[in-house]
With several copies, the nearest count.
Chain A
Amino acid sequence: MKKIYVDEDLCTGCGICIEFCPKKVLSYSSQRSLRGIYPAQVENLEACTLCRICEVYCPAFSIAVEGEKDE
């Protein structure tokens, strides 16, 4: 089961996951969060290869990837 969680309470909308996701799975939400910023959101889960680059880079520890790569 593949899933990406973004914790809106923690996400600072830095855009790093969005920029460096090789499959462009993520985008900015159009909804301002309580922090006053536009957090990341999952736009295209299917494209996700579970590479975990978003998770590894996220400075806010606010994104988590569920599921393991097949190989």
Chain B
Amino acid sequence: MSRIEVKLTGFGGQGIVLSGIILARAAMHDEKGVVQTQSYGPEARGGACRSEVVISDETIHYPLIEEADILVAMSQEALDKHISSIKKGGMLIIDSDTVSRIPEKSEVEVNRVASTGIASEKLGKVIVANIVMLGALMSLTGIVSKVAMEKAVKESVPRGTEEINLRALEEGYLHAQKSRIKGLKGKTESKEKEGK
């Protein structure tokens, strides 16, 4: 696997930064080269928030991402701000519960994941939406192994919350698998795949 650049975005409080760390940790467990960076400061507290992960089989020198192979957007504001940074042929994953409108962008595969809905409805905790999203991401992209991701989640979440987070991961994973199959089968509007 050559260099893959993932950008996770959303609003403050959604656990976007933690998602990036978990993804990076998983990649590390997979013995891949990985670098994680994120937005900082007061700007990171309120509005748009972002975490970036570069994963590669080779040593990573330049640590930042310029164009994303994969953009995850968990808020409308974040999507609007970052959609332009997706590479041609890249993938966009949105939280279909928090994002309603997808701006025009060609040659991008769009996946919709109802992570917030799943988190609040199936798991009773909206706070784990980010982990649901990670499960989906893992399933949709295969950039990290499931074993590694589970290990990373366990290591990274607050003590006592391991179980619910693992369940969230699994829910996201299954949800995306299903939708993937469905999506592959179903018809695609304007190059998008349905995520719900």
A-to-B contact residues, CB < 8 Å: 32, 34-36
Contacts and interface: CB of A to CB of B under 8 A. Distances in A.
Interface residues of B, number: 6
Nearest to A34: B76
A32 B75 CA distance: 11
B11 interface: yes
Contacts of B11: 35-36
9 contacts: A32-B98, A34-B76, A34-B77, A35-B11, A35-B77, A36-B11, A36-B14, A36-B75, A36-B98
Given A32-B98, A35-B77, A36-B98, 6 more contacts: A34-B76, A34-B77, A35-B11, A36-B11, A36-B14, A36-B75
Contacts of A34: 76-77
A35 B77 CA distance: 8
Interface in B68-96: 75-77
B16 to A, nearest CB: 12
Nearest to B98: A36
Contacts of B14: 36
Interface in B46-80: 75-77
A11 to B, nearest CB: 13
A34 B75 CA distance: 8
Nearest to A33: B76
A34 B77 CA distance: 7
Contacts of A32: 98
Contacts of A36: 11, 14, 75, 98
A34 B47 CA distance: 11
Nearest to B78: A36
